[in-house]
């Protein structure tokens, strides 16, 4: 007798053959068939789900066999399908990088700070410019060829930080030199500082951040009073039709840092361990990222995995105490296809006030490849006396943000994904107490790590694959599911054998 689709024929009373159960897809097809159809070729058969079923075997011999209740059979099929989905290691999804059958969803929108106040920038640095208060978040928008001013009031003692994140529409066409520049100036127009950021070789629209600041104690921009923040687009004429007419959303989050209670160091640390440690090993743990600085997911030391589609950006935060040192890299998994995409993955690091620290990008040919940040110094207050951004920006404790972006250009060469991205995060150094401030930072917790913050950070230990409690629960759940499946199959097989024995005793072969 030909076995219904989804099962393998065997002799009566014999144990199931290896591979007797088909994949989850075949099982799902069995469950979807209409009652009254033979699973083999969709032939019509009696619709009664109970009683004896007469079939014709090879050679023309008619045989009787007992057919179980259809409801029970369908329940078993659904249970098996669910178990295959839940069992760890069951591969039912597309491999990383494989083109999807359906059009991918648009990248998740940037997550702005909840409750951010919307303000409009001014065309000139006047009293009409919107006033920005440190410790609050603001939303605005920047037109093409726009130059917008915002206003600040600062004391003489505080160091001020004004990060601006620009968020172009997902369908914007950008060039490598497109970006934004943010500068800070006093009421007389004297520049205090400026910084710029560009999209780079990936040619992919994504959130980009630049930071302007006024350092207390420097030669320029001293004294209390009114200061102006200028935000402007860079090289917009090379951006194509979409960018020429589009506006970019802005998120502005000013902060201030008080001076020290006692005189601080006047020189940067002369020596620190700049060696690159061996990459962490061990089982990668799933850790989806946030879609903005405000929703960044915390990470501790370990190997972490996520899946990204072209055009997506994810945010993580690594809490660092004074004296701690961060090493981080991102590996883009392999994919089918041939070609080369420059700037396929971008990994950037920002400090607690979103200031640029370092970044790394990689070109991609379909083979797994890693982008690693340069060795960074331990977090020290004295680092602000250094010149390189990768040193002077590592100047206070707090959350350091890892931002990962996949270029939209990957889709045309290697498919729409999702692509597997593996983050390796190592936190070294020895924590110590920080300097005493003469006042309170604004926001109050921006340069502080509490015990609650430390306990909330997941850690995936290298080598043994242990770590985050949720991952251990997932593993236990997988083992429990496998055990339940074995018990279910054992009971089903025993019932089948008994039914077959009853059938042999009650119904002779015709």
Q: Are the C-beta atoms of residues 403 and 394 closer than 8 Å to each other?
A: no
pLDDT at 96 over 70: no
3-state secondary structure of 203: coil
- Phi/psi of residue 438, each to 5°? -85, -10
Q: Are the C-beta atoms of residues 329 and 279 closer than 8 Å to each other?
A: yes
Q: Please give the pLDDT value at position 108.
A: 87
Residue whose token pair is 């993955």: 345
Nearest C-alpha neighbor of 150 from the set 212, 253, 227, 214? 227
Q: How far apart are the C-alpha atoms of 437 and 435, rounded to whole Å?
A: 6
Neighbours of 91 (CB within 10 A): 9
Q: How far apart are the C-alpha atoms of 116 and 293, rounded to whole Å?
A: 13
HSE, side-chain direction, 13 A CA sphere, residue 357: 31
**Residue 277: Cβ-neighbour burial (10 angstroms; 0-12, 13-18, 19+):** exposed
What average pLDDT does the chain have?
78
Higher pLDDT, 480 or 123: 123
Q: List beta partners, residue 230.
A: 149, 183
Q: Please give the pLDDT value at position 191.
A: 93
DSSP 37: B
* Same domain assignment for residues 397 and 325: yes
For β-strands 302-308 and 285-286, DSSP reports them as parallel
With vertex at residue 327, the alpha carbon angle to CA 322 and CA 328, rounded to the nearest 5 degrees, is 130
* Same domain assignment for residues 353 and 497: no
Higher pLDDT, 475 or 206: 206
Domain containing 451 equals 117-259+275-431+439-455
* Same domain assignment for residues 77 and 151: no
Write the CB contacts of 283 (distance below 8 Å, at least 6 apart in sequence). Answer: 303, 460, 465
Q: How many domains does the chain have?
A: 2
**Residue 340: Cβ-neighbour burial (10 angstroms; 0-12, 13-18, 19+):** exposed
Q: Are the C-beta atoms of residues 280 and 328 closer than 8 Å to each other?
A: no
pLDDT at 2 over 90: no
Whether 241 is covered by a domain: the verdict is yes
Q: Are the C-beta atoms of residues 142 and 247 closer than 8 Å to each other?
A: yes
Whether 448 is covered by a domain: the verdict is yes
pLDDT at 78 over 80: no
In this prediction, residue 99 has a pLDDT band, given cuts at 50, 70 and 90, of very low
Mean pLDDT of 87-112: 53
* Same domain assignment for residues 55 and 136: no
* Same domain assignment for residues 316 and 422: yes
* Same domain assignment for residues 363 and 284: yes
- Phi/psi of residue 307, each to 5°? -125, 130
Whether 463 is covered by a domain: the verdict is no
Q: Are the C-beta atoms of residues 37 and 70 closer than 8 Å to each other?
A: no
* Same domain assignment for residues 144 and 190: yes
* Same domain assignment for residues 424 and 306: yes
Kind plus residue range of the DSSP H or E element containing 470: helix 469-506
DSSP string, 404-429: EEE-TTHHHHH-S--EEEEEEEEEEE
* CATH at residue 292: 2.60.120.380
**pLDDT tens sequence across 14-52:** 444 444 433 344 433 333 333 333 333 333 333 333 343
Q: List beta partners, residue 153.
A: 226
**pLDDT tens sequence across 205-247:** 999 999 999 999 887 898 999 999 999 999 755 544 444 558 9
Whether 138 is covered by a domain: the verdict is yes
Range of weakest confidence among 65-69, 228-232, 265-269: 65-69
Q: How far apart are the C-alpha atoms of 105 and 503, rounded to whole Å?
A: 54
Q: Are the C-beta atoms of residues 467 and 460 closer than 8 Å to each other?
A: yes
Q: Are the C-beta atoms of residues 4 and 39 closer than 8 Å to each other?
A: yes
* Same domain assignment for residues 190 and 78: no
Residues in the chain: 510
In the structure encoding, which two tokens stand for residue 474, read together?
A: 């997932």
Range of weakest confidence among 142-151, 464-473, 487-496: 464-473
Q: Are the C-beta atoms of residues 350 and 400 closer than 8 Å to each other?
A: yes
Whether 104 is covered by a domain: the verdict is no
Range of weakest confidence among 188-197, 202-211, 476-485, 495-504: 476-485
With vertex at residue 418, the alpha carbon angle to CA 415 and CA 419, rounded to the nearest 5 degrees, is 90
**pLDDT tens sequence across 358-378:** 999 999 999 999 999 999 999
HSE, side-chain direction, 13 A CA sphere, residue 78: 9
Range of weakest confidence among 195-209, 445-459, 460-474: 460-474
Q: What whole-number percentage of the chain has pLDDT above 70?
A: 68
Q: Please give the pLDDT value at position 104.
A: 52
Q: Please give the pLDDT value at position 97.
A: 41
Specify which of 288-302, 446-460, 463-477, 488-502 reaches the highest per-range mean pLDDT.
Answer: 288-302
**pLDDT tens sequence across 270-329:** 889 999 999 899 999 999 999 999 999 999 999 999 999 999 999 999 999 999 999 999
HSE, side-chain direction, 13 A CA sphere, residue 329: 19
In this prediction, residue 455 has a pLDDT band, given cuts at 50, 70 and 90, of confident
Q: How far apart are the C-alpha atoms of 501 and 490, rounded to whole Å?
A: 17
pLDDT at 251 over 70: yes
Whether 8 is covered by a domain: the verdict is no
pLDDT at 418 over 70: yes
Whether 218 is covered by a domain: the verdict is yes
Q: Are the C-beta atoms of residues 265 and 217 closer than 8 Å to each other?
A: no
In this prediction, residue 483 has a pLDDT band, given cuts at 50, 70 and 90, of very low
Q: Are the C-beta atoms of residues 69 and 50 closer than 8 Å to each other?
A: yes
Mean pLDDT of 249-275: 93
Q: Please give the pLDDT value at position 227.
A: 97
Range of weakest confidence among 154-168, 207-221, 253-267, 482-496: 482-496
Range of weakest confidence among 131-145, 346-360, 423-437, 486-500: 486-500
* Same domain assignment for residues 289 and 358: yes
* Same domain assignment for residues 214 and 310: yes
Mean pLDDT of 342-358: 98
DSSP 206: -
Q: What whole-number percentage of the chain has pLDDT above 90?
A: 59
In the structure encoding, which two tokens stand for residue 281, read together?
A: 């090993």
3-state secondary structure of 35: coil
Whether 215 is covered by a domain: the verdict is yes
Q: Please give the pLDDT value at position 462.
A: 55
* Same domain assignment for residues 145 and 71: no
Mean pLDDT of 486-501: 48
Q: Please give the pLDDT value at position 84.
A: 39
């Amino acid at each position: 007798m030909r076995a219904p689709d989804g099962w393998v024929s065997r002799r009566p009373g014999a144990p199931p053959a290896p591979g007797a159960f088909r994949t989850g897809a075949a099982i799902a097809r069995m469950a979807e068939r209409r009652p009254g159809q033979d699973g083999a070729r969709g032939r019509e058969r009696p619709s009664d789900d109970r009683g004896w079923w007469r079939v014709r075997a090879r050679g023309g011999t008619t045989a009787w066999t007992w057919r179980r209740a259809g409801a029970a059979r369908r329940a078993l099929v659904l249970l098996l399908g669910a178990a295959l989905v839940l069992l760890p290691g069951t591969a039912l999804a597309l491999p990383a990088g494989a083109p999807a059958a359906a059009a991918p969803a648009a990248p998740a929108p940037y997550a702005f700070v909840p409750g951010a106040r919307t303000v409009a920038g001014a065309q000139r640095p006047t009293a009409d410019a919107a006033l920005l208060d440190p410790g609050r978040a603001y939303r605005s928008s920047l037109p093409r060829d726009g130059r917008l001013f915002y206003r600040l009031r600062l004391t003489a003692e505080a160091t001020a930080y004004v990060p601006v994140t620009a968020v172009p529409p997902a369908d914007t066409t950008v060039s490598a030199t497109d970006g934004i520049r943010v500068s800070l100036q006093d009421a007389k127009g004297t520049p205090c500082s400026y910084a710029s950021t560009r999209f780079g070789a990936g040619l992919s629209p994504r959130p980009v951040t630049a930071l302007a600041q006024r350092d207390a104690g420097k030669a320029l921009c001293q004294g209390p009073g009114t200061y102006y923040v200028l935000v402007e687009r860079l090289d917009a004429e090379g951006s194509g039709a979409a960018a020429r007419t589009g506006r970019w959303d802005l998120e502005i989050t000013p902060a201030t840092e008080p001076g020290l209670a006692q005189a601080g160091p006047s020189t940067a640390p002369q020596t620190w361990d700049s060696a690159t440690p061996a990459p962490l090993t061990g089982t990668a743990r799933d850790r989806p990222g946030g879609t903005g600085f405000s929703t960044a997911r915390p990470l501790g030391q370990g190997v972490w995995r996520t899946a990204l589609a072209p055009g997506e950006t994810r945010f993580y935060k690594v809490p660092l105490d004074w004296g701690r040192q961060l090493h981080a890299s991102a590996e883009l998994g392999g994919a089918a296809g041939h070609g080369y995409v420059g700037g396929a993955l971008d990994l950037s690091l920002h400090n607690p006030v979103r200031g640029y620290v370092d970044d790394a990008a990689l070109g991609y040919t379909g083979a797994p490849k890693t982008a690693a940040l340069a060795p960074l110094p331990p977090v020290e207050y004295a680092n602000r006396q250094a010149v390189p951004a990768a040193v002077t920006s590592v100047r206070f404790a707090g959350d350091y943000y890892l931002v990962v972006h996949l270029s939209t250009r990957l889709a045309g060469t290697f498919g729409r994904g999702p692509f597997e991205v593996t983050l390796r995060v190592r936190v070294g150094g020895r924590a110590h107490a920080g300097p005493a401030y003469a006042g309170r930072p604004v926001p109050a917790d921006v340069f502080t790590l509490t015990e609650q913050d430390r306990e909330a950070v997941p850690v995936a230990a290298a080598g043994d694959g242990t770590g985050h409690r949720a991952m251990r629960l997932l593993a236990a759940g997988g083992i429990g599911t496998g055990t339940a499946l074995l018990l279910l199959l054992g009971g089903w097989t025993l019932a089948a054998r008994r039914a077959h024995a009853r059938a042999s005793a009650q119904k002779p072969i015709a």
